[in-house]
Amino acid sequence: MQCRAYRVEELRVQIEEELANMNAALSEYNQQRSTEAVNRLAMLSMIFGAGAVLTGFFGMNFGHMFERYLFKPEADTIGVHIGAVAVVTLITMSIILLGIYLVAVNWRDYRFILRDRNAPTKRHRWFSLRTGG
């Protein structure tokens, strides 16, 4: 009633629309960031999981062949053994470094995972009614 009496109804409606549009834009932005973070984690899971799948597949189906070359090398297969260990070490270190790099570069998306959500921050404490701020 007061809005109609002071003839600001149109302005109030316009501000409500702008606030609704801003809310929609912020929600879309946050959803996009969350989707990107989940996609990065899915990619890391696929990379780390692929090694386990390959190890299980080849270990179960071709164990006797790999055992001679990779696990119990003899004098004639020691070169293959050392080469395989070097390649696997290189691949493993590359995957671990990629994971560390992705988390470090996108730390802003992942830092909330480790933080206690119930712990008050300085910003929240300042606006708290209980502290009189």
Per residue of the chain (133 residues), give pLDDT as tens. 776 777 677 888 888 999 999 999 999 998 888 888 888 888 878 877 887 787 777 767 666 777 777 777 888 888 888 888 898 889 888 888 888 888 888 787 777 666 666 665 555 555 545 555 4
**What is this structure's pTM?**
0.51
| Sequence spans of domains, the chain | 2-109
Q: Which pLDDT does position 37 carry in this prediction? A: 80
Q: Which pLDDT does position 24 carry in this prediction? A: 92
3-state secondary structure the chain: CHHHHCCCHHHHHHHHHHHHHHHHHHHHHHHHHHHHHHHHHHHHHHHHHHHHHHHHHHHHHCHHHHHHHHHCCCCCCHHHHHHHHHHHHHHHHHHHHHHHHHHHHCHHHHHHHHCCCCCCCHHHHHHCCCCCC
CB-based contacts of 99, cutoff 8 Å, min separation 6: 44, 47, 48
Q: Which pLDDT does position 133 carry in this prediction? A: 46
